[in-house]
Structure 1
Amino acid sequence: MLYKGIGLFTILIIIASGFTPAFALTELERASIVDPRLVNAFGSPIGNLINVDQQVQISADVINNQEKSQIFAYLVQIKNENDIVVYFGWFLGELNPHQKLNPSLSWSPKEPGEFTAEIFLWEGFPVNHKALTEYTTLKINVS
């Protein structure tokens, strides 16, 4: 009787070890994008109201939520009021485990209006890319 219990217990351990633990990261939790913002050349926040031809940096904090290093592409796409892309740029880098970095890309608007910056964090750019996290947006008003 005791032998059957040990055998069943062993089988349960083997089956249980085949499941993904509850604390495992999903595909889109491998990294985070937080605090999207416009900054000047020195990294100081400048708010979301800027002028035509004013050079700004589109910045955000990116965080590697993994126990391993992660190569990444920080991509910024800016769309105008008509949902037309007026700017696209990227920055390639590598994050160490749990590292926080704040990359930024430069942009100078050429016309007034309301714009939306979409910020992505991918691996495998430019081919076979996969998102490391959900993208985030930043509203920009240009006068």
Structure 2
Amino acid sequence: MLKIFEIIIAIMILAASISPVFGADELDKVSISKPTLANAFGISLGNSINVDQQIQVAADITNNQERSQQFNYLVQIKNEHGLVVKLSWTGGELNPHQKWNTSVFWSPEESGEYIAEIFVWERFPIDNKALTEHTTISITVS
């Protein structure tokens, strides 16, 4: 059942990233900066990691508004064939103009080339409203 839910969520993410239905102003509510792969202590690992190494897919997110903003930080990791191998998210609330470093964990099971796609949405999975453009990190697992 969990796999079916992950597939549905991946399709929703893909649909939102291909054909956004939100105006440019909507996508400026939050910004993503400094996407990084880090260890459990937050130390950057670069883009090359090892099989079974637990990492954080982290980024700074900033609320660009004069009001508080609820958010969900979503990370979708795809293998070299474009298949989703991990989908994870966390959420919270940002105060006006607050910057916060957030992350989700991943431990790759196979070597290869991967792409981590980072999204920030409001009230996921209720209305899937993007707060900013997504960003990516290329990952090499050996």
> Fold-level match, TM-score > 0.5?
yes
Percent identical among aligned pairs is 61
**CA apart distance, 1:99:** 0.2
1:46-103 deviations in whole A, cap 9, x for unaligned? Answer: 1110000000000000000000000000000000000000000000100000000010
Q: 1-side partners of 2:110 and 2:41: how far apart?
A: 24
What 5-or-longer segments of structure 1 have no aligned partner? 1-24
Partner of 1:50: 49
Q: Determine whether 1:95 maps to 2:94.
A: yes
TM-score by length of structure 2 reads 0.82
Segments of 4+ in structure 1 off by > 4 A? none
Q: 1-side partners of 2:127 and 2:94: how far apart?
A: 19
Q: Determine whether 1:83 maps to 2:82.
A: yes
3-state SS of paired residue (2:117): strand
Give the letter aligned to residue 60 of structure 1: A
3-state SS of paired residue (2:65): coil
The count of residues paired between Structure 1 and Structure 2 equals: 119
Partner of 2:61: 62
Give the letter aligned to residue 92 of structure 2: G
**CA apart distance, 1:129:** 1.6
Q: 1-side partners of 2:127 and 2:71: how far apart?
A: 13
**CA apart distance, 1:127:** 1.6
RMSD: 0.8
1:110-138 deviations in whole A, cap 9, x for unaligned? Answer: 00000000000000211212000000000
What 5-or-longer segments of structure 2 have no aligned partner? 1-23
3-state SS of paired residue (2:36): strand
Partner of 2:127: 128
